[in-house]
């Protein structure tokens, strides 16, 4: 759409474009440093993918770990990254991140509404890599009372419906365990009953849940802190063009419901539009498994269409093209919705539980299902011959289905009927029948399950070493497995029909390739010089992990930390508390 000339101008010190963690971290910090901040958000509600996320942040040496006596020198996480990233390791950015992260956490927990819960028992993804940790390097946003946002709660993006129960987000860890055990343990049944009743009361009184958890709590706490500090958050206001004075970026034109508005920002502009998960052109260029872009089904927010990258390029910025993977890959299933569209459901939890396998159309496993979503997806892409669709099936028996659920098909007592009727969930009384309804080779599947069941009973995955890393075991279910006499917390036999399957395709949690930046989050030009007045945050910034995925939380941790760093740089103030 051609630009009409802006009818009005606004002035601020920092203009933040995009309202996920990358943008809001910078906005809150800058406001506390005395800057006048405007946040422009394209969608009718703020929060982006962050509001749908698990809210976990990889933040080594954080104060909550230190308080639990998990103390490590900076060289430990630094060397873990060095080993994981290999030749793509950028020491300047890694050090900037690891130095600033503990201060960032301290700032937010002391001076804002954001509180954290620890990840002291959460291991890094790759326990066999030197300097991997078995816990203490991550944090999650603590639950947040949505009523603290007052009227502005209406502008907060709710969690992705398919990942909730009647719109209620379920916190990872102890709360999720209660939900999975609700039909088995009286204490869990009681916990879940109270939680559900409180949620229904909220629905009656406020038409949404008010006990916010995970990424929704992160955005709620950040936005409450931003509003309290005087930040203007303007929804329905996409940035369409950057304003420049010579080389310097001086603001942007927003298309607001009242028409175009010019925002002049003395201290600069931070682009935090969430990368390019829904930009088919850039996906086709950077994701080899998606030749037209459409073959990649990201679970990220639909408004993330690569605007920040294009705006950055218009001012001389460059998008990294040499990452190991340009996206944070994940197996995604397509959930039919009543309006004919499909929700993109990322499979983050159930793959590691005992009693599930993943197979391709030949009926054979291709990976350790309990590895990270990124690693499983990379293995699937690698196992898929050129020209064939990247797809696999999660397979489980009836006991597993009712205990853990499969993706958007929820465990007992939720009914399976709707998910069977809309074709999301496939069911067969025998493995052969299931294979036929999915289009999987029946003999291949039967042979795979027979071999898998033998290995599961012995507790050892001879093919893919499932259950052998601390991360695998943490994602598994040791108490449940032990109760059935299975020694591997990630392996159980698939025995009693009916059997179930859900198809997964290539997808992601977001993108990694972004604008090249320096350790201050300043966008760099073609010769590596910072472009004055231009910063990138969140997934608009080329990932410091260079397309590797060493641990959960490696997008939100750096997003929060580099937002904090960028705000200090824009304010011309060194880090301090």
Ligand X SMILES: Cc1cc2nc3c(=O)[nH]c(=O)nc-3n(C[C@H](O)[C@H](O)[C@H](O)COP(=O)(O)OP(=O)(O)OC[C@H]3O[C@@H](n4cnc5c(N)ncnc54)[C@H](O)[C@@H]3O)c2cc1C
User: Which stretches of the chain bind ligand X, using CB under 6 A?
Assistant: 17-23, 40-43, 48-50, 52-56, 215, 238-239, 272-274, 299-301, 303-304, 307, 346, 509-510, 538-539, 552-556, 559
Least separation in angstroms between CB 41 and ligand X: 5
Shortest separation between residue 146's beta carbon and ligand X, angstroms: 18
Q: Is 117 helix (H, G, I), strand (E, B) or coil?
A: strand
As a whole number of angstroms, the distance between CA 383 and CA 152 comes to: 47
Specify the residue, 229 or 509, whose C-beta has the smaller distance to ligand X.
509
The smaller minimum CB distance to ligand X, of residues 364 and 410, is found at: 410
Please, which residue, 268 or 303, has the CB nearer to ligand X?
303
Q: How far is the CB of 387 from ligand X (least distance, A)?
A: 28
CB atoms within 10 A of CB 418: 12
Least spacing, CB of residue 361 vs ligand X, in Å:
26
The nearer residue to ligand X, 351 or 360, going by C-beta atoms, is 351
In order of 144, 331, 550, 564, the CA distances from 149 in angstroms are 10, 34, 35, 22
DSSP for 190-212, written as a single string: HHHHHHHHHHHHHHHHHSS--EE
For 542, the token pair is 């080329």
Under a CB-based contact definition with an 8 Å cutoff, are residues 298 and 506 in contact? no
Angle (CA) 144-150-154 rounded to 5° is 90
C-alpha span between 191 and 28 (Å, rounded): 35
Q: How far apart are CA 545 and CA 558, in angstroms?
A: 9
Q: E-strand spans in 373-444?
A: 391-397, 425-428
Strand (E) or helix (H) holding 451: helix 442-458
Query: Smallest distance, Å, CB 482 to ligand X?
Result: 28
Smallest distance, ligand X to C-beta of residue 371, A: 16
Minimum separation from the CB atom of position 404 to ligand X (A): 17
Edge to edge, the sheet with strand 56-58 lists: 56-58, 138-141, 116-118
Q: Which is nearer to ligand X, 215 or 317 (CB)?
A: 215
Q: Closest residue to ligand X, Cβ-based?
A: 20
Q: Which of residues 223 and 448 has its CB atom nearest to ligand X in the complex?
A: 223
Give the residue with the Cβ less far from ligand X, 223 or 250: 223
C-beta of 536: minimal distance to ligand X in Å?
Answer: 9
User: Whole-number minimum distance, CB 400 to ligand X, in Å?
Assistant: 22
Nearer to ligand X (CB atom), residue 77 or residue 303 = 303
Q: Least distance from C-beta 274 to ligand X, angstroms? A: 3
Rounded to whole angstroms, how far apart are CA atoms 241 and 310? 9
Which of 58, 89 has the CB closer to ligand X?
58
Instruction: Tell me whether residue 366 or residue 424 sits nearer to ligand X (CB atom).
Output: 424
- Closer residue to ligand X, CB minimum distance, 78 or 541: 541
Q: Is the Cβ of residue 270 or residue 435 nearer to ligand X in the bound state? A: 270
Nearest approach, Cβ of 28 to ligand X (angstroms)? 13
Q: At what angle do helices 214-228 and 21-32 cross, to 10 degrees?
A: 30
327-to-55, 141, 535, 565 alpha-carbon distances in Å: 18, 24, 21, 24
Contacts of 284 (CB under 8 A, 6+ apart): 290, 291, 292, 293
Q: Which of 231, 253, 264, 287 is nearest to 36 (CA)?
A: 231
- Report the nearest approach of ligand X to the CB of residue 560 (Å): 9
Q: Please, are residues 137 and 124 in contact by the beta-carbon 8 Å criterion?
A: yes
In contact, 338 and 444? CB cutoff 8 Å? no
Helix 21-32 × helix 556-571 angle, to 10°: 30
């Amino acid at each position: 759409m051609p630009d009409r000339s802006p009818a009005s101008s606004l002035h601020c010190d920092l203009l933040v474009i995009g309202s996920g963690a990358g943008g809001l971290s910078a906005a809150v910090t800058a406001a506390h440093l005395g800057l006048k901040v405007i946040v422009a958000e394209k969608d009718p509600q703020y929060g982006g993918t962050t509001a749908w996320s698990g809210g976990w942040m990889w933040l080594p040496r954080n104060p909550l770990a230190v308080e639990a006596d998990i103390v490590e020198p900076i060289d430990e996480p630094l060397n873990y990254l060095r080993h994981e990233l290999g030749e793509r390791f950028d020491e300047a950015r890694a050090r900037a991140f690891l130095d600033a992260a503990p201060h960032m956490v301290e700032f937010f927990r002391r001076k804002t509404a954001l509180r954290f819960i620890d990840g002291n028992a959460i291991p890094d993804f790759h326990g066999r890599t030197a300097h991997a940790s078995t816990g203490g390097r991550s944090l999650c946003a603590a639950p947040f009372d949505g009523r603290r946002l007052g009227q502005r709660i209406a502008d907060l993006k709710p969690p992705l419906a398919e990942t909730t129960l009647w719109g209620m987000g379920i916190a990872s860890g102890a709360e999720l365990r209660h939900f999975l055990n609700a039909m088995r343990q009286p204490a869990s049944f009681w916990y879940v009953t109270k939680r559900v009743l409180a949620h229904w009361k909220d629905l009656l009184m406020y038409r949404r849940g008010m006990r916010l958890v995970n990424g929704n709590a992160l955005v709620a706490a950040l936005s409450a802190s931003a509003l309290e500090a005087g930040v203007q958050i303007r929804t329905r206001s996409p940035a369409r063009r950057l304003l420049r004075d010579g080389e310097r970026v001086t603001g942007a034109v927003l298309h607001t419901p009242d028409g175009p508005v010019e925002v002049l920002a003395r201290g600069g502009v931070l682009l935090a539009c969430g990368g390019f998960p829904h930009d088919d052109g850039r996906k086709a260029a950077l994701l080899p498994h998606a030749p037209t872009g459409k073959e990649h089904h990201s679970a990220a927010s639909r408004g993330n269409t690569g605007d920040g990258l294009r705006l950055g390029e218009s001012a001389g910025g460059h998008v990294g093209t040499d990452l190991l993977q340009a996206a944070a890959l994940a197996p995604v299933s397509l959930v039919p919705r009543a309006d004919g569209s499909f929700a993109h459901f990322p499979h983050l939890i159930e793959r590691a539980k005992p009693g599930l396998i993943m197979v391709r159309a030949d009926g054979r496993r291709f990976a350790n299902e309990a590895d990270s979503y990124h690693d499983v997806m990379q293995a699937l892409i690698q196992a898929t011959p050129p020209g064939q669709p990247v797809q696999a099936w999660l397979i489980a028996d009836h006991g597993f289905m009712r205990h853990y659920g499969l993706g958007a098909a929820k465990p007992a007592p939720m009914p399976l009927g709707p998910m069977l009727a809309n074709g999301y969930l496939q069911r067969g009384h025998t493995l052969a029948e299931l294979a036929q309804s999915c289009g999987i080779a029946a003999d291949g599947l039967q042979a795979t399950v027979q071999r898998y069941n033998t290995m599961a009973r012995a507790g050892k995955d001879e093919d893919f070493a499932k259950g052998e890393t601390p991360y695998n075991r943490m994602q598994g279910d040791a108490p449940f497995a032990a109760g059935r006499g299975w020694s591997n917390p990630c392996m159980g036999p698939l025995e009693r029909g009916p059997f179930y399957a859900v198809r997964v395709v290539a997808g992601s949690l977001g993108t990694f390739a972004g604008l090249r930046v320096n350790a201050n989050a300043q966008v760099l030009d073609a010769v590596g010089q910072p472009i004055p007045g231009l910063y990138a945050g969140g997934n608009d910034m080329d990932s410091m992990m260079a397309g590797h995925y060493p641990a959960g939380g490696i997008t939100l941790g750096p997003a929060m930390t580099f937002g904090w760093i960028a705000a200090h740089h824009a304010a011309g103030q060194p880090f301090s508390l």
